[in-house]
């Protein structure tokens, strides 16, 4: 039996249709359109592309986006002042600070300055702590999107051995906590883990989130495992992820394609959480 393709692109499109209805209802109820503010510091082309994609997603569901562009020489104090301005703007329901920012900026301080009620990208320490303790908070978008994708495909998580390869603040660490909250037994590995293959071979669910092209080999995956690849690295013929996916359909029980798996769910989660923030503000 061939593996189930966890099609994030198709699911995101379906969710956008539902979000469009919720946005329309909000506009009718309040007379106000939900707004996501995106902050882009500097001129990194990849970051500019991601911000543009997020703005397009807002348009597709009927939301507005405010695009704040700041020069590469911006200081921490200047960025904090802009975040404070957006925090105090009642028309703004969500704030996204595009990662990474220029090296002279204290990115963590700026993330943590975002009002928890507007932290729709799930980047604050307080939000991470609340999520970890199963309290109300917006989850970091990529891992939250992965959990949503697994649930929509009825992937059983409770009692499973999950291995997360990666430990970043916005992907690996929150991913591990979310899986733990779904009653998985979780192991966190990373680029310096010794004998990585041994950990992966025992995984019922494997999440590649390490940022190294095809670090995790296909022959490490045990039969019927669920394979989630959160990486993307452009190549001449499209791109690859953190997991070697060639032949994976004959081994895994379910897997995310690259591209078209995790990526669309990341942006979709950002939009969904902004709509939720607007609904809470209106209640």
Angle at 82 between CA 81 and CA 88, to 5 degrees: 90
**Whole-number Cα distances in Å, 206 to 51, 193, 201, 247, 262:** 29, 15, 9, 16, 13
Q: Exactly one of 7, 82, 98, 242 is catalytic; which is it?
A: 98
Q: Which two tokens stand for residue 266?
A: 């990341």
Catalytic residue among 7, 82, 119, 121: 121
DSSP code, position 230: -
Judge whether 54 counts as a catalytic residue.
yes
160 catalytic, yes or no?
A: no
178: which strand partners?
A: none
In the chain, how many H helices and how many E strands? 9, 11
Name beta bridge partners: 95.
37
The residue behind tokens 């902004």 is 274
34 within 8 A of 63, measured Cβ to Cβ: yes
Contact (CB, 8 A) for 157 and 203:
no
121 catalytic residue (yes or no): yes
Catalytic residue among 7, 54, 144, 229: 54
Could you write out the three-class secondary structure of 240-278? ECCECCCCHHHCCCEECCCCCCHHHHHHHHHHHHHHHHH
Asked if 126 contacts 140 with a C-beta cutoff of 8 angstroms, the reply is no
For residues 252 and 227, the answer to whether their CB atoms sit within 8 Å is: yes
| Enzyme catalytic residues | 54, 98, 121
């Amino acid at each position: 039996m061939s593996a189930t393709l966890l099609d994030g692109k198709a699911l995101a499109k379906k969710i956008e249709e539902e979000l469009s209805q919720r946005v329309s209802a909000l506009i009718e109820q309040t007379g106000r359109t939900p707004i996501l503010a995106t902050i882009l510091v500097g001129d990194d082309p990849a970051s500019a592309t991601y911000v543009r994609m997020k703005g397009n997603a807002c348009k597709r569901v009927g939301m507005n986006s405010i695009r704040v562009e700041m020069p590469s020489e911006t200081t921490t104090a200047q960025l904090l002042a802009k975040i404070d301005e957006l925090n105090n703007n009642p028309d703004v329901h969500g704030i996204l600070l595009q990662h990474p920012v220029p090296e002279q900026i204290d990115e963590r301080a700026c993330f943590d300055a975002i009002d928890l009620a507007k932290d729709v990208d799930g980047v604050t320490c307080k939000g991470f702590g609340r999520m970890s303790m199963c309290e109300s908070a917006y989850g970091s978008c990529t891992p939250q999107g992965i959990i949503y994708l697994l649930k929509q495909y009825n992937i059983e998580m409770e009692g499973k051995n999950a291995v997360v390869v990666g430990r970043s603040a916005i992907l690996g660490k929150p991913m591990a906590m979310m899986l733990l909250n779904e009653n998985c037994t979780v192991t966190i590995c990373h680029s310096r883990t010794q004998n990585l293959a041994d950990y992966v071979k025992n995984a019922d669910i494997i999440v590649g989130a390490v940022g190294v092209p095809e670090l995790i080999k296909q022959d490490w995956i045990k039969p019927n495992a669920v394979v989630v690849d959160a990486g993307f690295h452009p190549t001449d013929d499209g791109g690859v992820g953190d997991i070697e996916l060639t032949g994976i359909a004959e081994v895994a029980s379910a897997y995310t394609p690259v591209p078209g798996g995790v990526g669309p769910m990341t942006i979709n989660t950002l939009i969904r959480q902004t709509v939720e923030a607007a609904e809470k503000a209106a209640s």
